[in-house]
Structure 1
């Protein structure tokens, strides 16, 4: 009879202790944008100086299967049981544990991080709270392209990534709806994001203005881009002309170098052919003239010498 009584007393006091130890969640829902960081919080009573050896903290994600996000067991971190989805992106701000705060930081948030989390604290009692994490991925950046197909017909394209699937609305400069004339396709891109591409083919004058609007119904957000045919067409023509001119300059330089080289060779050959050959008789004549001139110079010197000696006498 004593054992049932002791068990009853133990269970009674255990429930009382657990009733005194409660975990709270100051914020039950967090919304974060894809690629950013988020810090979720739950609190627990410390009642004096915290003894880490008695503290256990666990953050779990409740999917079809439980995924361990972070575990601190009796003051020691355990990363061996951490799910692969969170490796390298999780940090518990341990300096806040003394204040009774369990702050879990997730960096570079992915779409798969969205869901329900349990913050479980064991410290002279045990309790947990449920926290929801919502991840949004707006269609922030829109890539545009304008291509002329001839006869005042233009192909306008807008592309962007986000989540969930967005509707693309087309309007002209007078804000008339042209969506029915567009072709929109969807494909799964990186990290479960949707890559949405929409193309509108339309006839327009050169200064036409058009709008493509990505409407995210679930987030109640829209992002728009303005396509100005004149600006875009000029840009495309300039790019194509620049490439054409660059190629032309390269070919011209190459051909010019070849022609110059051939001209130099021809000139060298012409100079060689136009040289006047010197005969051996001419060489002999030049040598004879030189000897005669040398002899005359010697006779002139002898006469000068004799004249100077007579005048001295």
Structure 2
């Protein structure tokens, strides 16, 4: 589980707040634990006001912090959205719904680059802030499992790509027995930050058997699997 991040109060002086007549008591950000690329993400900023709500006196400021870089996601004040300072990568991807208790940010078509700390600052005379971490994952494509034969030995290769973070490769017999053989794994990082995984297993057996390759996606708690039948007669000299 991703630990809760302490509010980044140091960011508050960077913002310019409208004047107001009442104070906000607290703020709390809630972000989904698991998000995959292409999904729409709903982030909720809950807050408590000490007095009656007047939208014209409310300021809402969502920011994203990645690699020590602070970017404006969206803002709301004077009763309307304000997108003048919105970072280019968030343009046409955000909607903000505001009521007396919540400021709900929807981020469309999540990408791996959206992973980071999202901070919500509520201003109703005095500011209150909270933040949480958004972690975006990518699912791996279906496995491509192939075999070739060299001198009575089966050489199996398991390939998948497009996933993030890096998956774990496991080989085993289809009936669940563990393989005693060792296998090699080569990982490549693509330009979009996703991984290409290639794993090779060398297997020698005189009996027909079925072998499976699985790639475990720990963040999403799921795995993809492909199995292949190896005819034992190919190994006989």
Give the TM-score of the pair, scaled to structure 1. 0.56
Q: Which has the higher strand share?
A: 2
SS in 1 for 2:99: helix
2:79 aligns with: 75
Deviation per CA, 1:190-213: give whole Å up to 9, x if none: 531111111223345684310112
1:134 aligns with: 135
2:16 aligns with: none
- The Cα RMSD (Å) is 3.1
1:39 aligns with: 42
Structure 1's unaligned 5+ residue stretches are: 1-13, 231-313
d(CA) in 2 for partners of 1:84 and 1:206?
60
SS in 1 for 2:192: helix
Contact 2:145/2:227 (<8 A) preserved: no
Q: How far 1:217 moved relative to its partner?
A: 5.1
Q: How far 1:29 moved relative to its partner?
A: 6.1
Residue in structure 2 matching 1:24, options 22, 27, 37: 27
Deviation per CA, 1:81-109: give whole Å up to 9, x if none: 2223323322212xxx2343100111222
Residue in structure 2 matching 1:177, options 179, 184, 203: 179
d(CA) in 2 for partners of 1:113 and 1:194?
17
Q: How far 1:229 moved relative to its partner?
A: 4.0
2:91 aligns with: 87
Equivalent pairs counted in the alignment come to 208
Contact 1:110/1:191 (<8 A) preserved: no
1:57 aligns with 2:60: yes
d(CA) in 1 for partners of 2:169 and 2:214?
5
Label 1:171 to 1:30 Cα distance change in 2 as closer, same or farther (>3 A).
closer
1:148 aligns with: 148
Q: How far 1:59 moved relative to its partner?
A: 0.3
Greater relative CO, 1 or 2 (CA 8 Å, sep 6+): 2
Contact 2:59/2:76 (<8 A) preserved: yes
SS in 2 for 1:128: strand
Contact 1:50/1:98 (<8 A) preserved: no
d(CA) in 2 for partners of 1:122 and 1:48?
14
SS in 1 for 2:211: strand
Contact 1:143/1:159 (<8 A) preserved: yes
SS in 1 for 2:135: strand
Structure (1 or 2) with the larger CA radius of gyration: 1
Label 1:78 to 1:164 Cα distance change in 2 as closer, same or farther (>3 A).
same
Deviation per CA, 1:18-69: give whole Å up to 9, x if none: 4xx2233263663322332210111234654533x33321101123021111
Give the TM-score of the pair, scaled to structure 2. 0.72
Label 1:45 to 1:214 Cα distance change in 2 as closer, same or farther (>3 A).
same
Deviation per CA, 1:64-85: give whole Å up to 9, x if none: 0211111223234333322233
